[in-house]
Amino acid sequence: MSAETDAAAAAALAVVEAYMTAFNAQDLEAFTAQIHFPHVSFGPGAPVVTPEGGVIPAFHAVGPGSDWSHSTLEQAQVIQADADKVHLTCRVTRHRLGGGIIGTYDVLYVIARENGRWGMKALSGLRAPAQG
């Protein structure tokens, strides 16, 4: 990679880390600050496009009333990068209150620079294959 794409990759990783920190804190303002709208989420069923002012589905997937405690970013790898967009594959584990694992997911994040600010433009996640 060039110095320009190295800087883009570092910026994208910083977005994912801030996104996870805000997600774990259930801090909607900090979470939304990591997103570019409209945002596209690919999950089961049809893609979900969240407009400005909306909340992406991942934020409501956990929280009060669920047995979710926190999520961990197990690994993150840049698979493509240019000066204004980065694709990362990440493995994320959701943990239960009181211990145990809800699930582990492989997620593709698309991080883009828009108007000089890096943010998450899209995500697509799948349950990770069973390990071992």
Asked whether the predicted pLDDT for residue 72 surpasses 60, the reply is yes
pLDDT at 45: 80
What pLDDT is recorded for position 81? 96
**Residue 20, both tokens:** 């996870």
- Is the previous residue joined to 38 through a cis bond, with omega within 30 degrees of 0? yes
For the ranges 17-21, 29-33, 50-54, 88-92, the lowest mean pLDDT is seen at 50-54
The answer to whether 17 touches 25, Cβ cutoff 8 Å, is: no
Instruction: Tally the C-alpha atoms within 13 A of residue 15's C-alpha that lie toward its C-beta.
Output: 29
Over range 73-88, report the average pLDDT: 97
Closest CA to 15 of 69, 74, 66, 85: 85
Domain residue spans of the chain: 3-127
The answer to whether the pTM exceeds 0.85 is yes
Give the pLDDT confidence score for residue 131 in this predicted structure. Answer: 60
First and final CA of the chain: distance in angstroms? 33
CATH fold for the domain made of 3-127: Nuclear Transport Factor 2; Chain: A, (3.10.450)
Give the span between the Cα atoms of 122 and 16, in whole angstroms. Answer: 12
Look at residue 106 and tell me whether its pLDDT is greater than 70.
yes
Q: Mean per-residue pLDDT for 53-63?
A: 77
- Please determine, for residue 119, whether its predicted confidence score (pLDDT) is greater than 80: yes
Three-state DSSP at 17 gives helix
User: What share of the chain in percent tops pLDDT 90?
Assistant: 77
